[in-house]
Amino acid sequence: MTSLEQQLAELPGMSPAQLRAKWRDCWRKPAPDIGPDLLRRGIAWKLQSRVYGELPRHIERELERAAQRLRRGDELISTSPSSLKTGTRLVREWQGRVHHVLVLDEGYEYDARCFSSLTQVATAITGTHWSGPTFFGLRKHKSVSRRAQT
């Protein structure tokens, strides 16, 4: 058993006081006022991130956007491209030609090229700036939604 596996295996048997001490060791700050289950999860995440690395930056940004929506009281349902699962194929007809885009772990593949955003793909297809999520029908065009509300 590796050191990480050993540390993770010890977490369920720790008392709340032991978990708070372990949190301080891992995070270098006092534990927040949360229950033992969340303390275990936070400690486990920190220990694993030291071994396997942090979250990819695009995931961190999406989590921050979700937190901002929660603070504002907005719904958390997202139609952002990052919510698309790897392997998803987007299909769009444009000027008589059918375009296929493959969702990758970190970006999109179109016409045997990799793009970091759907907006870049939409721009490559149309030759002009488009919102990628709007172009592929993942988000309603703002003017359409405004008209629907009146």
Q: What is the pLDDT of residues 4-62, one digit of tens each?
A: 999 999 999 999 999 999 999 999 999 999 999 999 999 999 999 999 888 888 888 88
CA angle (94, 80, 147) in 5-degree steps: 70
Judge if 47 and 7 occupy the same domain: yes
| Average pLDDT of the residues of the chain | 86
Give the rounded percent of residues in the chain with a pLDDT score beyond 90.
60
Judge if 90 and 132 occupy the same domain: yes
* 57 falls within a domain: no
Judge if 40 and 89 occupy the same domain: no
E-only strand ranges, 2-149: 89-94, 97-104, 107-110, 113-115
CA dist 106 and 111 (Å) reads 16
Spatial CA neighbour of 43 closest among 16, 24, 23, 29: 23
* 69 falls within a domain: no
* 138 falls within a domain: yes
* 112 falls within a domain: yes
* 90 falls within a domain: yes
Helical (H) or strand (E) element with 122 = helix 118-126
Q: Are residues 61 and 81 in contact, defined by beta-carbon separation less than 8 angstroms?
A: no
The identity of residue 55, as a single letter, is L
* 137 falls within a domain: yes
* 68 falls within a domain: no
* 74 falls within a domain: no
Judge if 90 and 145 occupy the same domain: yes
Judge if 103 and 43 occupy the same domain: no
Q: Are residues 22 and 43 in contact, defined by beta-carbon separation less than 8 angstroms?
A: yes
pTM: 0.44
Question: How many domains would you assign to the chain?
Answer: 2
Domain that holds residue 30: 3-52
Q: Are residues 133 and 143 in contact, defined by beta-carbon separation less than 8 angstroms?
A: no
- With cut-offs at 50, 70 and 90, classify the pLDDT of residue 82: low
Tokens 């969702």 found at: 103
